[in-house]
Amino acid sequence: MSCDRSINYKDAVFAGKIVNACCVLHNYCTRMRVPNPPPLLENIDENEPPEFNNMPHDLVQRGLDEMRFLINYANQRQNDRNVANNL
């Protein structure tokens, strides 16, 4: 079984909301200068989609770790701004 890079939902409005949310998150991270994490897949052949069996075993954990990193980074930036505003 191979995976593709498409959103397969019957409801196009829901799929559009997912794409929009990803764009908003990307723009927020870019604006806040959040460093890019390392790629999840190593040695990708761009001509062939990755197989599910070739995906890292710790993919879910890495996703959770990246989510925690983004939350902590955003909170720290907010705290730094609050401290700077109180000086």
Task: Using pLDDT thresholds of 50, 70 and 90, give the confidence band for residue 1.
Answer: very low
Its pTM surpasses 0.85: no
- On whether the CB atoms of residues 38 and 62 are closer than 8 A, the answer is no
Size of the chain, expressed as the number of residues it contains: 87
Please give the average per-residue pLDDT across 66-77, as a whole number: 84
In this prediction, residue 65 carries a pLDDT of: 82
Domain ranges (residues) in the chain: 12-86
CA atoms within 13 A on the CB side of 73: 16
Stated as kind and residue range, the H or E segment containing 82 is helix 59-86
